[in-house]
């Protein structure tokens, strides 16, 4: 049985399509695998932005950490432990000002930890969180997968880079896009996402 980690980040609550479809994927895989599911809602419980307590605390020996450093490191360690425990990771991200939501960026700032989730070797950086499957759901008001706005998608490619940097290279992307272009565009975006998810769940079964 697999363990699934669902990470959502949209502030749109029930109106969020990235959360809706990421949840559909996670629950669909759980139903087919009989595995367990953990949920990390970064919008409801946003991580703090990293501070000097985290930067200094993660390189200090545990016995030398100040109380503030202990707390900062424990937050990061909890997020990393959740990642390590997961066989499948599902992430939902709705574009905010051409990029990812700030709580999701703060989460990545915590889990991108030298010598814990990535290291450096003779050939450059090496991700340490390997052997996991990732599903990334990105939602955008405009169409960013192609056309004139594609160069301004600072969400999807950046997320793929961050994931790959820590070793998560087996990533399947589901795009929900064009949702501000009118009712027909919304219906098409939803239908396309539903079809894509049905196809990937069939393969995951």
pLDDT score of 203: 85
- The fraction of the chain above a pLDDT of 90, given in percent, is 93
pLDDT at 205 over 70: no
36 belongs to an annotated ligand binding site: no
16 belongs to an annotated ligand binding site: yes
d(CA 174, CA 135): 8
**How much is the average pLDDT of 10-36?**
95
Map out the domains of the chain as residue ranges.
3-204
**How much is the average pLDDT of 176-180?**
95
Helices (H) and strands (E) in the chain, counts: 6, 7
Is residue 159 very low, low, confident or very high in pLDDT (cuts 50, 70, 90)? very high
Q: Where does 3-204 sit in CATH, by number?
A: 3.40.50.360
123 or 140, which is more confident? 140
Closest CA to 201 of 4, 57, 41, 29: 29
d(CA 202, CA 137): 17
pLDDT at 71 over 70: yes
- pLDDT, mean over the chain: 95
Phi first, then psi: give them for residue 115, nearest 5 degrees.
70, 5
Quick check: 107 and 47 in contact, CB under 8 A? Answer: yes
d(CA 118, CA 111): 10
**How much is the average pLDDT of 90-106?**
97
18 belongs to an annotated ligand binding site: yes
2 belongs to an annotated ligand binding site: no
Is residue 19 very low, low, confident or very high in pLDDT (cuts 50, 70, 90)? very high
């Amino acid at each position: 049985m697999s363990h699934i980690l669902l990470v959502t980040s949209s502030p749109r609550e029930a109106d969020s399509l990235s959360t809706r479809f990421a949840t559909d994927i996670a629950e669909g895989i759980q139903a087919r695998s009989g595995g367990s599911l953990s949920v990390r809602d970064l919008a409801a419980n946003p991580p703090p932005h990293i501070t000097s307590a985290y930067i200094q605390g993660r390189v200090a020996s545990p016995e030398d950490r100040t109380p503030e450093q202990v707390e900062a490191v424990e937050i990061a360690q909890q997020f990393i432990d959740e990642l390590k425990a997961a066989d499948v990771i599902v992430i939902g991200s709705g574009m905010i000002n051409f990029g990812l939501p700030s709580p999701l960026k703060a989460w990545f700032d915590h889990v991108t930890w030298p010598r814990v989730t990535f290291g450096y070797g003779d050939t450059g950086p090496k991700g340490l969180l390997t052997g996991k499957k990732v599903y990334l759901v990105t939602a955008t008001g405009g169409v960013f997968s192609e056309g004139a706005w594609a160069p301004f998608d600072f969400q999807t490619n950046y997320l793929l880079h961050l994931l790959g940097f820590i070793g998560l290279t087996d990533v399947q992307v589901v795009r929900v896009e064009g949702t501000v272009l009118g009712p027909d565009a919304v219906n098409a975006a939803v239908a396309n996402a539903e079809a894509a998810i049905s196809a990937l769940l069939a393969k995951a079964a």
